[in-house]
Copies of this chain bind each other. A is one copy, B any other.
Amino acid sequence: MKQKHYDHQSELGILDYIFNARSVAVVGASANTNKMGHTLLRNILDGGFEGPVYPINPKEPEILGVACYPSLLEVPGDVDLVVVAVPAPVVPSVMEQAASKNTHGAIIVSGGFREIGNEELEAKVMGLAREHSIAVIGPNCQGINYTPNKLCASWPLMTTPGVLGIIAQSGTIAAAMGGWAADENLGFSCICALGNMSGVNETDMLQFLGNDPETKVIALNLEGVSNGKRFLEVAREVAARKPVIVLKPGRTELGAKAAQSHTKSLAGDDRVFDAVCKKTGLIRVDELEEFYDVCKAFCYISQLPGPRLQVVTSSGGSGILAADVAIHQGLTLPEPDPADKEKLEQVLPPQCVIGNPLDLTGDATSGRYGDALAVLAKTDTVDGFLVIFGDPVEGAAETMCEVRQSTDKPIIVAYLGGGETEVVETGKLQKEGFPVFPTPERATRAAGYLYKRAQSV
């Protein structure tokens, strides 16, 4: 593999040509706003990519104000990465041009290959890629979005930087996860929708993000595994250093059948994959929303060191919902120790129910939360806090920032039933780096996974 202009980051390997590309050509760039080749060009430009961008289209002098070139070969400068959105039969010639241009990264968004029975065409494209050392993502994929390089070669346009790296076989799951992360200001380092995975596969990406300093947490959506032995090795190695959360649907027979017709993945025995996760320290979740919740929690909190959670709430009803889920997640809600109970009785009004859940009752102010948590901040009897705001509690974010100064225990937040105040305070809490969930159950479940991580490392 040639690396003549990659000395600065050659250690990251061939994927670097794609993610850290310094110049990008969009082959099949279109002036028609309904075409994928338009969307891709626009998102790369609007996403803020700082290197040169070359639209390739023989019929247009310029698109979106950027000069077009009739072919890759006419581009004056280097092209690190080609993003390909031309019809499938044209893709082999694009690969040949890329080889002539000494390009080593390609994202093939075009569909019309193996997924509809055109195995031969796909084999031809991949043969060229191998021959010329071109790393390929796809074909038939939704592209990549890598915020450290401000490179949104995908859709929809999302640009919020963060520490979450998302690898997905499903473009929809990638886009949904990225969208939620952007909406909540959590952001992401990377979104990679793998498509047919004829070149770069899930294990390559896991290894790449495992080594990527911008990525602290990895979300991995799989339908099948390309090479079990290598996956096992890489997963173990990466999961020892970073939380890797896995959504692998197709757990039921019907789901497995659907997975097979989607990506031709053989799901294998689901219990075997469960065992792989346990062995390697991968954290497996069951559903898409949970996938996002758990990733979010890990972006803020590395783990819950033990199972003992103190629930502090203004809503007794919410405390019950949390308690039910806590038990299912292997967490415990120990009673505060007698000395702490006494102190709590001194600082809290008489209607409060001193226990676990600690019910501050519906007229609780943020000050009352602060008073209660000041007592509990240093206690030895719990490993973390679940703080539930079940009313329009103003100043919640400010109080929680103060509380965080006085404790090193993880704090997970739920906020609900608070109308406009909830919207304001949730936004502030998220901005301050607290994981906030809209229901007690979702918060508690996330806490359970934070504890699972402590058990696996």
Contact = CB atoms under 8 A, between A and B. Distances in A.
B323 A362 contact: no
A306 interface: no
Contacts of A439: 176, 287-289
A262 B419 contact: no
A263 interface: yes
Contact of A327 (B254, B261, B316): B254
A142 interface: yes
A261 B353 contact: yes
Given A249-B317, A254-B326, A327-B252, A418 B175 contact: yes
A308 B4 CA distance: 59
Interface string A436-449: 00111110000000
A366 to B, nearest CB: 13
B262 A316 contact: yes
A344 interface: no
Interface in A160-175: 168-175
Contacts of A179: 416-419, 422
Given A252-B328, A353-B262, A418-B156, A321 B175 contact: no
Nearest to A327: B252
13 contacts: A115-B361, A116-B350, A171-B362, A171-B390, A172-B362, A175-B416, A175-B417, A179-B422, A221-B317, A254-B324, A254-B327, A255-B321, A262-B316
- From A142, A171, A357, A359, name the one whose CB has the most chain B CB atoms within 10 angstroms: A171
B351 A172 contact: no
A172 B315 contact: yes
Given A351-B116, A442-B289, A363 B111 contact: yes
Interface in A251-306: 251-255, 257-259, 261-263, 287-289
B316 A258 contact: yes
B317 A172 contact: yes
A140 to B, nearest CB: 8
A347 interface: no
A38 to B, nearest CB: 13
B255 A351 contact: no
Interface in A163-220: 168-176, 179
Contacts of A350: 116
A438 B442 CA distance: 15
Contacts of A412: none
A333 interface: yes
A419 B223 contact: no
A350 B113 CA distance: 11
B262 A319 contact: yes
Interface string A229-254: 00000000000000000000111111
A320 B392 contact: no
Contacts of A351: 111-112, 115-116
A235 to B, nearest CB: 20
B173 A417 contact: yes
Contacts of A259: 320
A107 B263 CA distance: 59
